[in-house]
Amino acid sequence: MIIYDQHVHTSFSFDSNEKMEDYMKLAGQDFVSTEHLEFNNPEVQNHDSIPDYTKYVAEIERLKKATGKRVHKGIEIGMSAGQADKIKDYLAHHTFDIKLLSFHQDGTKDFGSNMVSHLDPLQVTDQYYQLMWKGINEFHDADVLAHFDYGVRRLSLTSGQFSTTAGVLLTNIFKVAIQNNLAFELNTKSMYKYHNIGLYDYAIEIYKQLGGKRYTIGSDAHDATHYEDHFRDALDMLKAHDIHHINVYRQGAMTVVPIDDIPEDL
């Protein structure tokens, strides 16, 4: 397979119990898991969520030998206020083939938690994108800006409300992302589980008009049943925006894959 899922979690992440080998049954010749790195994680009583790198690498090597497939190392970096130095120090001592940059929490709450749905949606939206704007200026050493809409997944917002509240901030965030070669992730979990297709239509056009040219697709799977979920739909969305390629990261290198070269039965 010439493209593959570039946002996947296994039991090396704090919020998944899925074994890496279970995904291997579904994966083509390439597979990556992007495990959570989240300092001061409010989802686990503000403890640090750090993958066991030694065991992670050992499992990858075992599966490479057992399957003959290319298994890559990935990390989803959770950026929040005051964590940039810790993140930089961690990355200085651990290598990865693909790095996702995410904004999940503000030190006291994770924006994906159920409690967020009971808060004022416009206040939450403004707070989240202020946090992302500050964070991406402090740290942007990654390959992909993941699920730009994470902070509003639990909210009911129209595209108009989102544009009025967060449009200017999101535009400025994308400018920084593009300057630092961060790809735009079509996160199919956001798009289809959380029904944010309209926000993705809106955001893709902003990123494109600003000159952004890098796009990835990730399922954000935490179990194998969601691996490569709705990938064909995401590819069709890109084509609807007159974007005819997808970007794939392998062993630290980025390649461009024409969408027309991807099999229809993906």
Instruction: State percent of the chain over pLDDT 70.
Output: 100
Q: Which CATH architecture has domain 20-261?
A: Alpha-Beta Barrel (3.20)
DSSP state letter for 193? I
CA angle 100, 178, 187 (to 5 degrees): 40
pLDDT of residue 265: 78
pLDDT of residue 2: 86
**Helix, strand, coil percent values for the chain (each to nearest 5):** 45, 20, 35
DSSP output for 113-131: SGGGGGS-HHHHHHHHHHH
pTM attached to this predicted model: 0.97
Q: What is the pLDDT of residues 164-221, one digit of tens each?
A: 999 999 999 999 999 999 999 999 999 999 999 999 999 999 999 999 999 999 999 9
Tell me the residue ranges of DSSP E strands in 50-92: 70-78
Q: What are the sequence ranges of the domains in the chain?
A: 20-261
pLDDT of residue 252: 75
Residue 1 has pLDDT above 70, yes or no: no
Residue 91 has pLDDT above 60, yes or no: yes
Q: What is the pLDDT of residues 121-134, one digit of tens each?
A: 999 999 999 999 99
| CA–CA dist 187, 220 (Å, integer) | 7
